[in-house]
């Protein structure tokens, strides 16, 4: 018998699997964060906090950020969207830090977010609606990751192609819809 077979699908599964799966950000239990000594929350923007390219701030979203801050959590929005005044305005309204024009899942942008938050990866939770950008990128730098369902169905054409692959991964993990 040969012992030379090194292939294992597990490491791939490990970097693509979120620590937690939720329908929406508002379902996130703050105890889940505190139990893990998480002090910082990094969130994606489009289809995680707001519908794609709709940067108006709903009361529920403002309230969610207020309660995060009120409970002592530091926050930052990390988005691949191109810089725009409407996004800056949104981050000001939510009183949160912002990294715009990122290229998730590239680690450099997650490390920049950690630096701005002055947080270590194990103290940080990355929340987003995409496995191949938010979850993969967060896992690669050693953060906790939360996958949520996308808010709307409108999105960037390139994203729609990745959604097919994402659906397969989610089926394999037995999560999502
Ligand atoms: Mg998104």
Q: What is the pLDDT of residues 84-129, one digit of tens each?
A: 999 999 999 999 999 999 999 999 999 999 999 999 999 999 999 9
Asked if 125 and 143 touch (Cβ cutoff 8 Å), the reply is yes
Read off the pLDDT band of 1 (50, 70, 90): very low
**What is the pTM for the complete model shown?**
0.91
Fold observed for domain 11-173: Rossmann fold (3.40.50)
- d(CA 4, ligand 1 centre) in Å: 40
Q: What is the reported pLDDT for 7? A: 58
pLDDT tens track for 48-70: 999 998 999 999 999 999 999 99
- Note the pLDDT of residue 162: 87
- The residues pairing with 147 across neighbouring beta strands, listed in sequence order, are 21, 128
CA 74 – ligand 1 centroid, Å: 20
Band (6; pLDDT cuts 50, 70, 90): low
- 122 Cα: distance to centroid of ligand 1 (angstroms): 22
Residue 148 has pLDDT above 50, yes or no: yes
d(CA 3, CA 67): 54
Domain ranges of the chain: 11-173
Mean per-residue pLDDT of the chain = 92
pLDDT for the residue numbered 9: 57
Going from the Cα of 70 to the center of ligand 1, the distance in angstroms, rounded, reads: 25
Distance (Å) from CA 34 to ligand 1 centroid: 25
Query: What's the 55 CA to ligand 1 centre distance in angstroms?
Result: 13
Say what the pLDDT of residue 11 is.
Answer: 73
Region 148-153: mean pLDDT is 90
Residue 8: the pLDDT is 57
> What does the pLDDT average to over 3-31?
83
pLDDT of residue 10: 61
Distance 108 CA to ligand 1 centre (A): 18
**For residue 7, what are the contacts with CB-CB under 8 A and spacing of at least 6?**
none
Ligand 1 centre distance from Cα of residue 153 (Å): 11
CA of 45 to the centre of ligand 1 (A): 6
How far apart are the CA of 130 and the centre of ligand 1, in A? Answer: 6
């Amino acid at each position: 018998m040969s012992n030379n077979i090194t292939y294992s699908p597990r490491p791939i599964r490990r970097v693509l699997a979120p620590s937690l799966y939720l329908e929406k950000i508002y379902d996130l239990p703050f105890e889940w964060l505190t139990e893990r000594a998480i002090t910082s929350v990094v969130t994606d923007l489009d289809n995680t906090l707001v519908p794609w390219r709709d940067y108006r701030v709903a009361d529920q979203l403002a309230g969610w950020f207020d309660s995060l801050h009120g409970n002592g959590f530091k926050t930052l929005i990390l988005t691949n969207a191109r810089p725009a005044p409407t996004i800056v305005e949104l981050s000001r309204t939510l009183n949160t830090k912002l990294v715009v024009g990122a290229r998730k899942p590239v680690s450099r942008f997650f490390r920049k977010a950690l630096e701005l938050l002055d947080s270590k990866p194990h103290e940080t939770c990355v929340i987003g609606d995409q496995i191949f950008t938010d979850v993969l990128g967060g896992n690669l730098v050693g953060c906790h990751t939360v996958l949520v369902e996308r808010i709307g169905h409108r999105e960037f054409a390139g994203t729609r192609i990745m959604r097919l692959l994402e659906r397969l991964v989610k089926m394999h993990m037995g999560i999502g819809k």
